[in-house]
Chain A
Amino acid sequence: MGDADKLPGRRSFLRGVAGGVAGGVVAGGAAGYAVRASQPGPAMAADTASLDGRLPAVPFHGRYQAGIVPPSQRQTAVISFDTTVDGKSGLADLFQTITSRARFLTAGGTPPPVGIDGPPSDSGVLGPTVVPDGLTVTFGVGSTLFDDRYGLAGKLPGRLTPMKPFPNDDLDPAQTGGDMILQLSAGNADTVLHALRDIARHTRGGMQINWRIDGFTSPARPAGTVPRNLMGFMDGIANPPLSKAKELLWVQRGTAGEPEWTADGSYFVVRLIRMFVEFWDRVDVYEQQQMIGRDRATGFPMDAKSLFAAPDFGADPTGAVIPVNAHIRLANPRTPQTASSRILRRAYNYDRGIDQVGDLDQGLIFTCFQQDLKRQFEAVQTRLIGEPLVDYISPFGGGYFLALPGVRDTADWYGRALLA
């Protein structure tokens, strides 16, 4: 060996920074967001895509992170990390390594051979050529990153706190919080796990997994509708339109109380919610629909005749059709006063074994993005306190994060404005 290009002289957990790509495809320019922004559709993330087979590459570079807006891929993993690097420059190295790996993994290409000088440079889980398969890497930071370790206390995003426990929550500290969050999503589970193994391999000394959960998005059934959660109801129907992104989704430059570096980021909430599906399945469908506010079979609001129709709560002040404490009514009352609390909701199902009584451990990886955590997620969640649905669910983990601004080009990296 001996090649400078094969082994960089940087801090050694950063092998990925200079680890080249043999004959690989380099992701295209910074046009990513513009392409996505022009996508047609009634909602930011309609979660309606029926995504089979290998997906094309999602451009990595852009003003915003690429995994926030487009329709959900079939498979996802949400992984919380704690940093183990020393000092701000160590943290910058770590973020550059994550950038470099994400740039390669989302574009795909052939990992470089190593000759007789070591184990293969890639796990081989995707075969000899890494396919992009629609992989997106969404990277966020938690409030604990801004403690005294890295001298970042003065740069704490204005609305970022540890996740607030709500009255019906049962948060497990071992599955809550974290210095950083990565959400890896792609068309297939092997692509997601390959990406996780690759990123972890290149950052072994720099961060440790704190907690993780894998999830999936179901196909829309019937086709053309919206994927269902494991309670059997369509989930994520009423997302705000992309035209509202400036008011609802992205942190705007110059926002009072927000450090400059947060501009074009988005607050990223993860809530891990167990669903007591056996209990739920013992509830008659009428009562289920009363709790949700939608028809289970069609997804229509109980007062409407189409999936995307807005329920008219004003015409039903006593809740005769949709009870006043139904989930959709509390979550989005559809009043001018609550319009600014709307969130971009992206939920995934999880399924991971059994509990102590042999019931299935299934539920929802609720994720949402918003401009202002308090004005949006916390306002929505406050309205939902005590909703009838709480008997059938138990939020047990997750965290609050700020999804970083996008990586604009090949010279840029995650968190440059924070750490440079």
Chain B
Amino acid sequence: MLAMAMRKTPLLTIAVLAAMALLTACGGGGASNTISFNSASCGGSWTLAKPGWHTFELYNANDVGGEIDLIDPRTSGIYAEADQFGPGTTQTMSLNVGSGRYAFRCIFEDTDPMTGPTVTVPGHVKGFTATVPVTNNELVGPAKQYQAYAAAGLKTLVGQTETLASDVQRGNLAAARGDWLRAHLTYETLGAAYDAFGNFDDEIDGRADALGVSNPQWTGFYRLEYGLWHGQSAGELAPYASKLAADVRSLLAAWPTMEIPLIDIGLRTHEILENALEFQLTGHDDYGSGTTLATTLANIQGTRELLSLLHPLLVTRYPGLPGVYTWLDRLQTLLEAEHQPDGTWVPVAQLPASAREEIDAACSQALQELAPIASIAEPRNT
């Protein structure tokens, strides 16, 4: 396989160069252009004859890789991007070209960004709109706010896990079950930070999957849930409850030195609920309490926090944003309907088929609506 790919490369280059020469001679009009980029020229001179669907053939003649964007030079908005663009390779870029201004911007490794000449398509034809990229700077504020949100959640959680530990130590397991749910739901609102929590997350909220339910190394909320809802004694559970409270205290102490990568702010807007669909709505993470619908609600709260932080950046960039709220609201309403008057939750396995289908459909559609945010809110160098 590898040998074949290597053999092909020089041939491809020759073919592309030939095609380029041909197009240069023709002036670059028509439905497709091959445009060459190198260390001195970001696309050189090119033209667009008319609006409509257009496919550009881009050839990276530079000896380094990088990214080439087609931008609106007035706003620096991006119509289309060719990322991970290796030297000596070609990529295609397709878009619906409308009336407006177009320029290529080259961001090669170890080179200052260059913007090529501006090409104007006259008239009043509507095509793609250039999305103004979100910058690192714009995400610093939301990341700091999220850091503070997580810190506040962890402070609450310290008190809740201490109450849980003391009720377990006193042997009041009925109270401990209530404590457990309150504390676990608090933790489940912090979904964007789990990765940043590192090993703490495994200790605090790890699944039994790889370890098995009787392995003493399995600790945290799910371990306690398993014991509290499977008739285990206070004596058996007390060490786990104490360890959970201690782990949460340590996490709170360490939190100021931890950092949420800027890219996570956008990514987690759908990933939190991807996990809820995979682990909560399937019932996978039900270790006995039957509260995975409540967990999903806590996950929605965490998702809404991220959305509110990103809202100023999204409202001008994502026309689908109202749909996000429509479906989160619907999902939330459907879940809240399963909260029983006595405070318990209907376990997913006991939901009537139609209720479960409605919940799964609403969660799936909410995820579909959320998915573009990860791309839109990805920090880009401009």
Chain A residues packing against B (C-beta within 8 Å): 1-7, 12-13, 15, 20, 22-23, 82, 84, 110, 112-119, 201, 204-208, 210
B131, A1: Cβ atoms closer than 8 Å:
yes
> What are 15 contact pairs spanning A and B, CB under 8 A?
A1-B131, A1-B376, A3-B129, A7-B319, A22-B96, A110-B94, A113-B93, A115-B81, A116-B78, A116-B133, A117-B372, A118-B371, A118-B372, A119-B375, A204-B367
Segment touching A, from B222-230, B250-258, B355-363? B355-363
> In whole angstroms, how far apart are the Cα atoms of A4 and B95 in the complex?
15
> In whole angstroms, how far apart are the Cα atoms of A201 and B371 in the complex?
12
B353-382 contacts to A (CB < 8 Å)? 353-354, 357-358, 360-362, 364-365, 367-369, 371-372, 374-376, 378, 380
B80 and chain A: residue at smallest CB distance: A115
A1, B319: Cβ atoms closer than 8 Å:
yes
B369, A12: Cβ atoms closer than 8 Å:
yes
Interface size bracket, B side: 35 or more
B317 and chain A: residue at smallest CB distance: A1
Residues of A within 8 Å of B93, CB to CB, are: 113
A84, B357: Cβ atoms closer than 8 Å:
yes
Residue of B53, B131, B362 touching A2 (CB-CB under 8 A): B131
B95, A115: Cβ atoms closer than 8 Å:
yes
Residues of B within 8 Å of A6, CB to CB, are: 128, 319
> In whole angstroms, how far apart are the Cα atoms of A377 and B365 in the complex?
38
> In whole angstroms, how far apart are the Cα atoms of A24 and B317 in the complex?
27
B327, A12: Cβ atoms closer than 8 Å:
yes
Residues of B within 8 Å of A2, CB to CB, are: 129, 131, 317, 319
Residues of A within 8 Å of B81, CB to CB, are: 115-116
Chain B residues packing against A (C-beta within 8 Å): 53, 55, 78-81, 93-96, 126-129, 131, 133, 317-320, 323, 326-327, 330, 353-354, 357-358, 360-362, 364-365, 367-369, 371-372, 374-376, 378, 380
Contact flag A204-B365 (CB < 8 Å), given A12-B323, A117-B131: yes
Contact flag A116-B361 (CB < 8 Å), given A2-B131, A201-B368: no
Residues of A within 8 Å of B55, CB to CB, are: 23
B318 and chain A: residue at smallest CB distance: A1
> In whole angstroms, how far apart are the Cα atoms of A84 and B378 in the complex?
33
> In whole angstroms, how far apart are the Cα atoms of A20 and B365 in the complex?
20
> In whole angstroms, how far apart are the Cα atoms of A1 and B323 in the complex?
15
Question: Nearest chain A CB to B243's CB is how many angstroms away?
Answer: 40
B78 and chain A: residue at smallest CB distance: A116
A5, B368: Cβ atoms closer than 8 Å:
no
Question: Nearest chain B CB to A392's CB is how many angstroms away?
Answer: 32
B129, A119: Cβ atoms closer than 8 Å:
no
Contact flag A113-B94 (CB < 8 Å), given A2-B129, A84-B361, A205-B361: yes
B358 and chain A: residue at smallest CB distance: A84
Contact flag A3-B371 (CB < 8 Å), given A23-B53, A116-B78: no
Question: Nearest chain A CB to B90's CB is how many angstroms away?
Answer: 14
Residues of A within 8 Å of B80, CB to CB, are: 113, 115-116
> In whole angstroms, how far apart are the Cα atoms of A85 and B109 in the complex?
50
A205, B78: Cβ atoms closer than 8 Å:
no
> In whole angstroms, how far apart are the Cα atoms of A6 and B318 in the complex?
11
Question: Nearest chain B CB to A192's CB is how many angstroms away?
Answer: 21
Contact flag A205-B362 (CB < 8 Å), given A82-B354, A118-B371: yes
A208, B95: Cβ atoms closer than 8 Å:
no
Question: Nearest chain A CB to B203's CB is how many angstroms away?
Answer: 33
The 7 closest A-B pairs by CB, nearest first: A205-B365, A118-B372, A12-B323, A84-B361, A204-B364, A208-B357, A2-B129
Residue of B96, B365, B375, B380 touching A13 (CB-CB under 8 A): B365
> In whole angstroms, how far apart are the Cα atoms of A23 and B369 in the complex?
25
B327, A117: Cβ atoms closer than 8 Å:
no
Question: Nearest chain B CB to A318's CB is how many angstroms away?
Answer: 51
Contact flag A12-B320 (CB < 8 Å), given A3-B128, A117-B375, A117-B376: yes
> In whole angstroms, how far apart are the Cα atoms of A1 and B126 in the complex?
12
> In whole angstroms, how far apart are the Cα atoms of A113 and B128 in the complex?
10
A115, B96: Cβ atoms closer than 8 Å:
no
